Amino acid sequence: MSYFDRHNRPTPGAVKGVFAHLDCLVDGIDQLKKAGVKDFIVTSPLPRHEIEEMMYEGRPSPVRWFNLAGALFGGSSGFSLAALTHLNWPMIIPAGKPLVSIPAFIIITFEATVLFGCLFTLIGLLVHCRLPANDLQYEVKDPRYSDDHFGIIVNNLTADTAEKVRGILAHTGAVEVSGMEAAHAS
């Protein structure tokens, strides 16, 4: 099986539910969690706090540490660049003006803080979102998810648990349930 074939075929052990309504989706997530199902992905065409709250229960994204690290790195390297290059070639400045001038170097420090803070955040975003993502499973690649539908993709199911999951998805209002076996419309 080629690389592309692998990601353009239904994933073994996966069930997909497509939802047209947000409240049904949230209900579906809730029911799956109550049933002890943990390995599932939710897709949506827009960010919704309800989904994030249900999936992550208020845990903040680790991207913030990238932001902090970048800002600290940028600020310290910006100030060091300005200060060390002036100390490397010390000039006698009249009127007792300092060689390492804090007010003048604050500008470079600030700009480098912002620049590296943003670039590190970008790296954090790409790392944690796993972008560029060319290995996402077949079930996630439904064009409706970027338009007007929501989705739940449950993975690593056995024949028994798949039947139970399909039942939960259909019961909570999925407009389409597919995977493992023939599609079931609710």
Partner 1 sequence: MSSITYGKVTRDILRPLFKPSAAYMGLLGLCVAGVGLLLFCWYVQLTQGLGVAGYAPPVFWGVYITTFVFWIGIGHAGTLISAILFLFRSKWRTGVYRASEAMTVFAVMTAGLFPALHVGRAWNAYWLFPYPNQRELWQNFKSPLMWDVFAVSTYFTVSTVFFYIGLIPDLAAVRDKTRGIIQKTYGFMALGWRGTDRQWRHYMAAYGFFAAFATPLVLSVHSVVSWDFAMAQTMGWHSTLFPPYFVAGAIFSGCAMVITLLMPMSLIFKWDEYIGMWHYESLAKMCLLTGSILTYAYGTEYFIAWYSDNPYEWGIFHFRAVGEDYAWVFYMMVFCNCLAPLIWWFKKMRTNLWVLFIVSIIINIGMWFERYNIIASALAHQYDPNAWTYYAPTWVEIGILIGSFGWFGLWFTLFIRVMPSVAIAEIKELLRPPLKSDEAAA
- Chain contacts with partner 1 (rule: CB under 8 A): 20-24, 41-48, 51-52, 55-56, 60-61, 63-64, 67, 71, 78, 81-82, 85-86, 88-89, 101, 104-105, 107-108, 110-112, 114-115, 117-119, 121-122, 124-126, 128-134, 136, 140-141, 143-148, 173
CA 46 from chain centre, in angstroms, equals 13
CB nearer to partner 1: give 53 or 181.
53
Q: How far is the CB of 88 from partner 1 (least distance, A)?
A: 7
Residue corresponding to tokens 């208020």: 58
How far is 154 from 162, CA to CA, in rounded Å? 9
Q: Where are the beta strands (DSSP E) in 8-115?
A: 15-19, 40-43
Q: How far is the CB of 83 from partner 1 (least distance, A)?
A: 8
Q: What share of the chain is helix, strand, coil (3-state, %, to 5)?
A: 55, 10, 35
Q: How far is the CB of 142 from partner 1 (least distance, A)?
A: 8
Residue corresponding to tokens 């790409």: 126
CB nearer to partner 1: give 44 or 161.
44
